[in-house]
Amino acid sequence: MLHHTSRRSLVLGAAALALPVAALAQQSSATGAKAPLVGPLAPNPAEFKKQVDQFTGSATPVADGLQLDVPALADNPSAVPVKVKVTAPITEQDWCEEIIVLAELNPSPLTCRLHFTALTGTAEAAVRVRLSQTQTIHALARMKSGKVLVAKQAVTVAASGCGM
């Protein structure tokens, strides 16, 4: 029988096995008990806000012109496919300069940063990101004109077989 002690160790009969706090949080969630995630795997809302604020600057993000395609259920949280495409018109005067993808509840929210030039002709990419838990994925695109496009989508992370 498994149970927690106040010393943050896992007791197996008469033997005790010390586990990292993150492993205890995973074990607690597997048994249905809620343990707060702390340490290096904890969400970092301040860093998420900082990344969004730095990218948008003084621009007000527009929820039109950016397409985000992420599966609703991520069966492999180590490699979740994410596709981002600017659907707004791209011209010689106004093109997408940069796209970022953020995982809101990851300890390090910035999952990728993509740069484009006027010669690219289109602004789209497909990447795989690692997710620490069920959360919302955000994509932001900055156009040459300064306009910022935004899209977001919720993703449910299924527990993997290796206990992630």
Residue ranges making up the domain that contains 9 = 2-40
Q: Is residue 99 part of a domain?
A: yes
95-118: b (≥16 Cβ within 10 Å) or e: bbbebbbbbbbbeebbbbebebee
Q: Is residue 64 part of a domain?
A: yes
Count structural domains, the chain: 2
- Please name every residue paired with 15 in a beta bridge, in sequence order, or none if there are none: 12
pLDDT digits (tens, 9 = 90+) for 78-97: 999 999 999 999 998 999 99
Does this model's pTM top 0.85? Answer: no
Q: Is residue 147 part of a domain?
A: yes
Q: What is the CA radius of gyration of the chain?
A: 20
Q: Is residue 164 part of a domain?
A: no
CATH number of the domain to which 98 belongs: 2.60.40.2470
Residue whose tokens read 């796209």: 99
Name residues whose C-beta falls within 8 Å of residue 38's C-beta, 6 or more positions apart in sequence: 21, 25
Q: Kindly state whether residues 68 and 105 are assigned to the same domain.
A: yes
pLDDT digits (tens, 9 = 90+) for 39-90: 667 899 999 999 999 999 999 999 999 999 999 999 999 999 999 999 999 9
Q: Is residue 53 part of a domain?
A: yes
